[in-house]
């Protein structure tokens, strides 16, 4: 028999209480895994939008709290294309719209030039791609088309104006699958941003070479002091939306963690204090204080372990459900990032230690003779 | 007021020597033990008797190094317990406790319960299991190894507790009302077991009891009254009145 066996069997004395505590903990872990997972997936998917297109730098106007509200001129794109060490340069305008009738509140709208390679790289599932000369036409991502119930030939209302759906496409990106593509001219008109794009994604020549990227970055930023050319990962991490998502997920996770810790503390405190004389007997038999503390900590960690397994599974189910719920399916990928699992497990361990600390420390200070005294 | 032993040979170092021990509570307003002195030799079977509130349990706690005297000292093989650097180790290796209410873990089997004190001993996991089996055989429970306490009779539970108390081969077995929760038949069985342990293994036994039938089995009885040693009585022999 190991000390852990005693801890495990102690938890079986009050199976309902142990199960409820583990369930509370599982809910906290599930919340952490789901929130951190969504935030992680949000960020990694966004980064993939750039990296999978071979982009090395994102060029945008400096400052400002909301990146979507800023713009750079099309002329800047021409200047970048003319720089030595510049490879492919793709400019695009981006906005967010809502389809309130369908409970879709954060749908990305991209405006691309007709020759933009992005339009060539998505897979056309139905209809055709946007072409030069299309006016008031859109392509819908596969998920958005399904959520809106639209197909080529239908009309969809964007910016309170009817747009003709010419095609339905599929992309590697969850965002693009939930997005609207239209030609740049149309979007500039809708956003009242003539001659502007939100930014450029720029490939260095040779692509991915750090020295070439650094050199190109300096050259681009020398064009206009108001312009920042930022490596993709750095750019994505600096996005306010990402920061807010990350902070929100951590704040909610911290609250969930605190609630889980209180739940486990309550259970452990009740469990230890109702076994006071029994633990006193252990001390009488020569058990050292630290061994009693370890026993209490093991019970707490076992509860946390059970809660973690259920919680990780619950978090995965939550992410899967969000990825398939029409309201969020255009924003959330269905995968479970390993980091979210690790963070959920780590926080469960923290909850277990916090929950065990008070009863364990209180008991550590209690003399065996006091513990043995009934009542 | 004090009690003293007169019949210990001068060459013998007593196993336990209680010297002018006092224990008070509540800032001295409650005097649980007053100047108590007696000694117990290795291999002796001693009963401590007295009415409720006389200080018996306080004395047991002091003998078992669970508590400290306010005055006086208790020596084990000539060494004061107050001078021991590690009382947990002393309790684990030297003292075996048998409680009135057994204090068995309800979710552990008899075999597992007996192993609890062994965590503080030198044995590895396999050796712990083997020794626990041997001890349960010794107390007549070889057929109950895998039973949880709820599936055992109260007498059997106390036997498991006795086996547990013997787990680390203690020098002294301290039993607090070991038959207090048992019917007469089970109680007699436990006392027979004590007799057997004392006779065959030479275990030193100190048993706190209310029952005359328990005291009758012991070699000596120490009577406590109002926190003082009142009488020292050798079974079937001399009575020494100590209290004045």
Tell me the C-alpha distance between A274 and B44, whole Å.
Answer: 37
Minimum-distance CB partner of B66 among A6, A9, A284: A284
Cα distances from A145 to residues A86, A138, B155, in angstroms, run 36, 11, 76
| Tokens coding B228 | 């003082």
Neighbours of B23 (CB within 10 A): 22
Tell me how long chain B is: 244
Half-sphere exposure of A16 (CA within 13 A, CB side): 0
Q: Helix or strand or coil: residue A143?
A: helix
Cα distances from B93 to residues A141, A185, B41, B74, B166, in angstroms, run 75, 88, 18, 17, 10
> What's the longest Cα–Cα distance across chain A?
91
Give CA A66 to chain center in angstroms: 19
Tell me the C-alpha distance between B182 and A307, whole Å.
Answer: 42
End-to-end CA distance of chain A: 30
Tens digit of pLDDT per residue, chain A (375 long)? Answer: 888 888 888 888 788 888 888 888 888 888 888 888 888 877 887 888 888 878 899 998 887 545 566 788 999 999 999 999 999 999 999 999 999 888 888 899 999 999 998 898 899 999 999 999 999 999 999 999 999 999 999 999 999 999 999 999 999 888 889 999 999 999 999 999 999 999 998 999 898 899 999 999 999 999 998 999 999 888 888 877 778 888 888 888 888 878 877 888 888 788 778 888 888 888 888 888 888 888 888 888 898 899 899 999 998 898 888 888 877 766 677 777 788 888 888 888 888 888 888 888 887 777 888 887 754
According to the model, what pLDDT value does residue A330 have? Answer: 63
Residues of B in contact with A5 (CB under 8 A): 108, 112
Please report where in the chains the tokens 């938890």 appear, as a residue. A11
CB contact under 8 A, A277 and B103: yes
Instruction: Express each pLDDT in B69-115 by its tens digit.
Output: 999 999 999 899 999 988 889 999 899 988 888 888 888 999 999 99
According to the model, what pLDDT value does residue A64 have? Answer: 55
Which ranges in chain B belong to alpha helices (H)? 56-63, 87-94, 110-115, 125-138, 154-165, 184-201, 212-217
Taking the Cβ of residue B129 and every Cβ of chain A, the question of whether any pair is shorter than 8 Å is answered with yes
Decide if B110 contacts B134 (C-beta within 8 A). Answer: no
Select from A67, A88, A68 the least CA-distant residue to A77: A88
- According to DSSP, the residues that pair with A321 across neighbouring strands are none
Cα B57–B62–B65 angle (5° rounding)? Answer: 125
Strands B71-76 and B220-225: unpaired
Tell me the C-alpha distance between A109 and A96, whole Å.
Answer: 6
Select from B33, B23, B19, B37 the least CA-distant residue to B225: B33
Taking the Cβ of residue B169 and every Cβ of chain A, the question of whether any pair is shorter than 8 Å is answered with no
| Tokens coding A124 | 């056309």
Neighbours of B88 (CB within 10 A): 20
CB contact under 8 A, A13 and B107: yes
CB contact under 8 A, B107 and A278: no
CB contact under 8 A, A13 and B164: no
Cα distances from A30 to residues A256, A257, A354, B52, in angstroms, run 9, 11, 19, 56
Minimum-distance CB partner of A13 among B64, B95, B106: B106
Minimum-distance CB partner of A288 among B61, B106, B120: B120
Instruction: Express each pLDDT in B138-147 by its tens digit.
Output: 888 889 999 9
End-to-end CA distance of chain B: 6
Residues of B in contact with A289 (CB under 8 A): 88
Best mutation target among B23, B88, B208 (most A Cβ atoms within 10 Å) is B88
CA distance B68 to chain A (A): 10
pLDDT at B10 over 70: no
Check residue A226 and report its DSSP letter.
Answer: T
CB contact under 8 A, A291 and B119: yes
Global pTM value: 0.70
Cα B106–B125–A277 angle (5° rounding)? Answer: 30
- Report residue A285: phi and psi, to 5°: -80, 5
Neighbours of A83 (CB within 10 A): 16
Strands (E), B26-85: 30-40, 45-49, 71-76, 79-80
Best mutation target among A274, A286, A295, A369 (most B Cβ atoms within 10 Å) is A286
Tell me the C-alpha distance between A160 and B36, whole Å.
Answer: 98
CB contact under 8 A, B92 and A287: yes
- Taking each helix axis from N to C end, the angle separating A338-364 and A289-324, rounded to the nearest 10 degrees, works out to 150
Q: Give B95-134 as a DSSP string.
A: EEEE-TT----TTS-HHHHHHGGGGGSS--HHHHHHHHHH
Cα distances from A110 to residues A50, A182, A315, in angstroms, run 14, 6, 31
Neighbours of A365 (CB within 10 A): 8
CB contact under 8 A, B88 and A1: no
A276 → chain B, closest CA residue: B103
Decide if B139 contacts B91 (C-beta within 8 A). Answer: no
ipTM of the complex: 0.81
Burial class (CB in 10 A: 0-12, 13-18, 19+), B172: buried
Select from B96, B97, B114 the least CA-distant residue to B177: B97
Averaged pLDDT, B232-237: 69
- Which residue numbers of A have CB closer than 8 Å to B's CBs? 1-3, 5-6, 9-10, 12-13, 277-278, 281-289, 291, 367-369, 372
CB contact under 8 A, B67 and A369: yes
CB contact under 8 A, B92 and A283: no
Averaged pLDDT, B220-224: 90
Residues in CB range of B191: below 8 A, 6 or more apart: B179, B213, B214, B217
Q: Helix or strand or coil: residue A140?
A: strand
Tell me the C-alpha distance between A234 and A103, whole Å.
Answer: 32
Instruction: Express each pLDDT in A184-216 by its tens digit.
Output: 999 999 999 999 999 998 999 898 899 999 999
A286 → chain B, closest CA residue: B92
Residues in CB range of B29: below 8 A, 6 or more apart: none
According to the model, what pLDDT value does residue B5 have? Answer: 44
Tell me the C-alpha distance between B69 and B82, whole Å.
Answer: 9
CB contact under 8 A, B112 and A6: yes
Neighbours of A291 (CB within 10 A): 16
CB contact under 8 A, B105 and A284: no
| Tokens coding B2 | 């004090």
CA distance B133 to chain A (A): 13
pLDDT at B210 over 90: no
């Amino acid at each position: 028999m190991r000390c852990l066996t005693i801890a495990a069997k102690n938890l079986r004395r009050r199976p309902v209480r142990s199960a409820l505590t583990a369930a509370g903990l599982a809910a906290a872990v599930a919340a952490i895994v789901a929130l951190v997972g969504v935030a992680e997936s949000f960020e990694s998917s966004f980064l993939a939008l750039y990296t999978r297109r071979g982009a090395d730098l994102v060029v945008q106007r400096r400052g400002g709290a909301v990146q979507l509200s800023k713009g750079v001129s099309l002329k800047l794109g021409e200047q970048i294309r003319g720089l030595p060490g510049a490879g492919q340069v793709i400019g695009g305008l981006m906005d967010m719209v809502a389809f309130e009738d369908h409970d879709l509140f954060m749908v990305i709208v991209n405006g691309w030039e007709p020759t933009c390679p992005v339009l060539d790289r998505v897979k056309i599932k139905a209809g055709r791609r946007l072409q030069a000369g299309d006016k008031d036409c859109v392509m819908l991502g596969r998920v958005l088309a399904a959520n809106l119930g639209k197909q080529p030939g239908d009309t969809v209302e964007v910016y309170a104006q009817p747009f003709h759906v010419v095609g339905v496409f599929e992309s590697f990106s969850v965002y693009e699958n939930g997005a609207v593509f239209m030609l740049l001219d149309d979007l500039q008109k809708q956003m009242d941003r003539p001659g502007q794009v939100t930014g450029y994604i720029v490939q260095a020549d040779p692509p991915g070479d750090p020295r070439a990227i650094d050199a190109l970055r300096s050259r681009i930023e020398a064009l206009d002091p108001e312009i920042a050319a930022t490596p993709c990962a750095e750019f994505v991490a600096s996005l306010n939306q990402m920061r807010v998502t990350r902070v929100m997920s951590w704040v909610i996770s911290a609250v969930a963690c605190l609630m889980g810790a209180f739940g486990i503390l309550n259970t452990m405190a009740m469990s230890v204090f109702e076994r006071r004389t029994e633990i006193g007997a252990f001390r009488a038999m020569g058990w050292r204080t630290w061994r009693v503390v370890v026993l209490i900590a093991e019970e707490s960690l076992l509860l946390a372990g059970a809660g973690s397994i259920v919680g990780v599974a619950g978090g995965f189910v939550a992410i899967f459900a969000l990825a398939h719920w029409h309201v969020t399916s255009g924003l959330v990928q269905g995968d479970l990032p390993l980091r979210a699992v690790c963070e959920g497990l780590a926080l469960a361990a923290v909850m277990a230690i916090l929950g065990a600390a008070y009863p364990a420390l209180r008991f550590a200070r209690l003399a065996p003779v006091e513990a043995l005294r009934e009542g | 007021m004090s009690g003293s032993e007169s019949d210990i040979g001068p060459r013998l170092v007593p196993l336990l020597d209680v010297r002018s021990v006092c224990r008070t509570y509540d800032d001295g307003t409650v005097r649980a033990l007053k100047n108590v002195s007696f000694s117990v030799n290795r291999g002796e079977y001693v009963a401590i008797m007295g009415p409720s509130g006389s200080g018996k349990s306080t004395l047991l706690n002091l003998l078992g190094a669970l508590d400290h005297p306010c005055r006086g000292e208790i020596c084990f093989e000539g060494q004061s317990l107050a001078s021991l650097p590690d009382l947990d180790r002393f309790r684990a290796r030297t003292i075996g406790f048998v409680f009135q209410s057994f204090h068995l873990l309800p979710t552990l089997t008899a075999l597992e319960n007996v192993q609890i004190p062994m965590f503080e001993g030198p044995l590895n996991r396999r050796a712990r299991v083997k020794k626990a089996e041997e001890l349960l055989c010794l107390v007549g429970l070889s057929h109950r190894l895998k039973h949880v306490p709820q599936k055992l009779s109260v007498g059997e539970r106390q036997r498991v507790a006795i086996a547990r108390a013997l787990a680390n081969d203690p020098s002294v077995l301290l039993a607090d009302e070991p038959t207090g929760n048992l019917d007469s038949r089970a109680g007699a069985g436990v006392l027979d077991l004590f007799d057997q342990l004392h006779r065959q293994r030479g275990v030193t036994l100190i048993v706190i009891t209310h029952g005359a039938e328990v005291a009758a089995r012991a070699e000596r009885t120490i009577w406590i009254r109002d926190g003082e040693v009142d009488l020292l009585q050798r079974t079937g022999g001399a009575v020494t009145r100590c209290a004045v």
